[in-house]
Amino acid sequence: MEKNFVLWLTGLSAAGKTTIAKRLYQEIIQLDHLIHHLDGDEVRRFSPIKLGFSPQERDLNIQLAINLAKKYQDNGISVIASFITPYQRHREWARSQLRNYIEVFVSTPLCVCEARDPKGLYRKARAGEVNFFTGISDIYEEPSNPHIHLPAHKLSLDESVSKVLKFLRENGYIKATKLS
Protein backbone atom coordinates (compact mmCIF):
# COMPACT_ATOMS: atom_id res chain seq x y z
CA MET A 1 0.00 0.00 0.00
CA GLU A 2 1.54 3.32 -1.08
CA LYS A 3 1.59 6.23 1.32
CA ASN A 4 1.07 9.91 0.61
CA PHE A 5 4.27 11.84 1.44
CA VAL A 6 6.09 15.17 1.28
CA LEU A 7 9.69 14.86 0.14
CA TRP A 8 11.33 18.09 1.35
CA LEU A 9 14.64 18.90 -0.36
CA THR A 10 16.70 21.47 1.55
CA GLY A 11 20.08 22.98 0.74
CA LEU A 12 21.79 26.13 -0.47
CA SER A 13 20.72 28.01 -3.58
CA ALA A 14 22.14 26.18 -6.65
CA ALA A 15 22.82 23.03 -4.62
CA GLY A 16 20.86 20.94 -7.13
CA LYS A 17 17.54 20.66 -5.30
CA THR A 18 15.32 21.62 -8.23
CA THR A 19 17.26 19.50 -10.72
CA ILE A 20 16.94 16.46 -8.47
CA ALA A 21 13.28 17.24 -7.72
CA LYS A 22 12.36 17.52 -11.40
CA ARG A 23 13.99 14.16 -12.19
CA LEU A 24 12.32 12.55 -9.17
CA TYR A 25 8.98 13.91 -10.34
CA GLN A 26 9.51 12.36 -13.79
CA GLU A 27 10.40 8.99 -12.26
CA ILE A 28 7.58 8.91 -9.72
CA ILE A 29 4.86 10.05 -12.14
CA GLN A 30 5.85 7.08 -14.35
CA LEU A 31 4.77 4.83 -11.46
CA ASP A 32 1.23 6.25 -11.65
CA HIS A 33 1.70 7.96 -8.28
CA LEU A 34 -0.09 11.30 -7.88
CA ILE A 35 2.64 13.85 -7.23
CA HIS A 36 3.33 17.58 -7.53
CA HIS A 37 6.65 19.43 -7.59
CA LEU A 38 6.48 22.59 -5.47
CA ASP A 39 9.45 24.96 -5.38
CA GLY A 40 10.40 28.35 -3.99
CA ASP A 41 9.98 30.19 -7.26
CA GLU A 42 6.39 28.95 -7.56
CA VAL A 43 5.50 30.04 -4.02
CA ARG A 44 7.09 33.45 -4.52
CA ARG A 45 5.25 33.88 -7.82
CA PHE A 46 1.85 33.18 -6.23
CA SER A 47 2.46 34.99 -2.94
CA PRO A 48 0.12 37.94 -2.32
CA ILE A 49 3.18 40.05 -1.44
CA LYS A 50 6.65 40.30 -2.96
CA LEU A 51 8.88 38.21 -0.73
CA GLY A 52 12.51 39.03 -0.13
CA PHE A 53 15.07 37.15 1.93
CA SER A 54 14.73 38.65 5.43
CA PRO A 55 14.11 36.13 8.22
CA GLN A 56 10.49 37.34 8.49
CA GLU A 57 9.92 37.00 4.74
CA ARG A 58 11.52 33.55 4.78
CA ASP A 59 9.18 32.57 7.63
CA LEU A 60 6.19 33.63 5.54
CA ASN A 61 7.54 31.93 2.40
CA ILE A 62 8.04 28.61 4.18
CA GLN A 63 4.66 28.79 5.90
CA LEU A 64 3.03 29.40 2.49
CA ALA A 65 4.94 26.40 1.10
CA ILE A 66 3.87 24.19 4.00
CA ASN A 67 0.24 25.26 3.57
CA LEU A 68 0.36 24.50 -0.17
CA ALA A 69 2.00 21.12 0.43
CA LYS A 70 -0.67 20.34 3.03
CA LYS A 71 -3.45 21.19 0.55
CA TYR A 72 -1.94 18.85 -2.04
CA GLN A 73 -1.63 16.12 0.58
CA ASP A 74 -5.24 16.62 1.70
CA ASN A 75 -6.25 16.00 -1.91
CA GLY A 76 -4.32 12.72 -2.08
CA ILE A 77 -1.31 14.12 -3.90
CA SER A 78 2.25 13.56 -2.72
CA VAL A 79 4.64 16.50 -2.94
CA ILE A 80 8.27 17.02 -3.82
CA ALA A 81 9.16 20.36 -2.24
CA SER A 82 12.48 22.02 -3.12
CA PHE A 83 13.22 24.95 -0.84
CA ILE A 84 16.40 26.33 0.66
CA THR A 85 14.69 26.13 4.09
CA PRO A 86 17.72 27.61 5.85
CA TYR A 87 16.54 27.49 9.44
CA GLN A 88 16.02 24.39 11.54
CA ARG A 89 12.75 25.87 12.86
CA HIS A 90 11.34 25.90 9.32
CA ARG A 91 12.06 22.22 8.87
CA GLU A 92 10.51 21.53 12.29
CA TRP A 93 7.38 23.43 11.21
CA ALA A 94 7.14 21.26 8.11
CA ARG A 95 7.77 18.07 10.08
CA SER A 96 5.03 18.96 12.58
CA GLN A 97 2.41 20.01 10.01
CA LEU A 98 2.86 17.51 7.18
CA ARG A 99 2.14 13.79 7.11
CA ASN A 100 4.98 11.50 6.10
CA TYR A 101 7.51 14.32 5.94
CA ILE A 102 10.80 13.11 4.47
CA GLU A 103 13.77 15.46 4.79
CA VAL A 104 16.42 15.32 2.06
CA PHE A 105 19.58 17.35 2.64
CA VAL A 106 21.26 18.28 -0.65
CA SER A 107 24.66 19.18 0.78
CA THR A 108 26.59 20.93 -1.96
CA PRO A 109 29.45 23.12 -0.70
CA LEU A 110 29.05 26.89 -0.95
CA CYS A 111 31.98 27.20 -3.40
CA VAL A 112 30.29 24.79 -5.83
CA CYS A 113 26.94 26.60 -5.50
CA GLU A 114 28.62 29.94 -6.12
CA ALA A 115 30.37 28.60 -9.22
CA ARG A 116 27.01 27.46 -10.61
CA ASP A 117 25.03 30.61 -9.64
CA PRO A 118 22.44 30.31 -12.45
CA LYS A 119 20.45 33.37 -11.30
CA GLY A 120 23.47 35.53 -10.40
CA LEU A 121 22.26 35.78 -6.80
CA TYR A 122 25.57 34.92 -5.15
CA ARG A 123 27.30 37.59 -7.23
CA LYS A 124 24.64 40.12 -6.18
CA ALA A 125 24.88 39.05 -2.54
CA ARG A 126 28.68 39.41 -2.57
CA ALA A 127 28.22 42.88 -4.08
CA GLY A 128 25.79 43.83 -1.30
CA GLU A 129 22.80 44.03 -3.65
CA VAL A 130 20.90 41.20 -1.92
CA ASN A 131 20.53 41.26 1.86
CA PHE A 132 20.04 38.16 4.03
CA PHE A 133 21.24 35.82 1.30
CA THR A 134 21.69 32.28 2.63
CA GLY A 135 25.32 31.25 2.82
CA ILE A 136 26.63 34.79 2.35
CA SER A 137 24.90 37.29 4.63
CA ASP A 138 22.57 34.86 6.41
CA ILE A 139 23.05 31.43 7.90
CA TYR A 140 22.13 27.98 6.66
CA GLU A 141 21.58 25.62 9.57
CA GLU A 142 22.46 22.19 8.23
CA PRO A 143 19.98 19.45 9.09
CA SER A 144 21.30 17.33 11.94
CA ASN A 145 19.40 14.15 11.09
CA PRO A 146 17.85 14.16 7.60
CA HIS A 147 16.14 11.03 6.33
CA ILE A 148 18.32 11.18 3.22
CA HIS A 149 21.68 12.90 2.76
CA LEU A 150 22.72 13.71 -0.82
CA PRO A 151 26.24 15.10 -1.26
CA ALA A 152 25.21 16.21 -4.76
CA HIS A 153 28.71 17.43 -5.63
CA LYS A 154 29.95 13.83 -5.22
CA LEU A 155 26.96 11.98 -6.67
CA SER A 156 25.69 12.09 -10.22
CA LEU A 157 22.09 13.13 -10.81
CA ASP A 158 21.20 9.48 -11.48
CA GLU A 159 22.86 8.36 -8.24
CA SER A 160 21.06 11.04 -6.22
CA VAL A 161 17.70 10.13 -7.71
CA SER A 162 18.31 6.40 -7.25
CA LYS A 163 19.15 6.92 -3.58
CA VAL A 164 15.87 8.77 -2.97
CA LEU A 165 13.78 6.28 -4.96
CA LYS A 166 15.34 3.40 -3.02
CA PHE A 167 14.32 5.06 0.27
CA LEU A 168 10.78 5.65 -1.00
CA ARG A 169 10.42 2.04 -2.19
CA GLU A 170 11.90 0.50 0.95
CA ASN A 171 9.55 2.52 3.15
CA GLY A 172 6.39 1.80 1.15
CA TYR A 173 5.88 5.27 -0.28
CA ILE A 174 6.02 4.20 -3.94
CA LYS A 175 5.65 0.98 -5.94
CA ALA A 176 8.76 -0.86 -7.04
CA THR A 177 7.74 -0.66 -10.70
CA LYS A 178 4.96 0.63 -12.92
CA LEU A 179 1.97 -1.70 -13.34
CA SER A 180 1.20 -2.61 -16.94
- Note if the pTM is more than 0.85: yes
Q: Which domains does the chain have, with CATH numbers?
A: 6-170 (3.40.50.300)
Distance (Å, whole) CA 71 – CA 51: 21
Provide CB contacts within 8 A for 29, sequence distance 6+. Answer: 35
Provide CB contacts within 8 A for 18, sequence distance 6+. Answer: 39, 82
Helix (H/G/I), strand (E/B), else coil: 100: coil
pLDDT in tens, 103-133: 999 999 999 999 999 889 999 999 999 888 9
pLDDT in tens, 140-164: 999 999 999 999 999 999 999 999 9
Band of residue 40 on the pLDDT scale cut at 50, 70, 90: confident
Band of residue 3 on the pLDDT scale cut at 50, 70, 90: confident
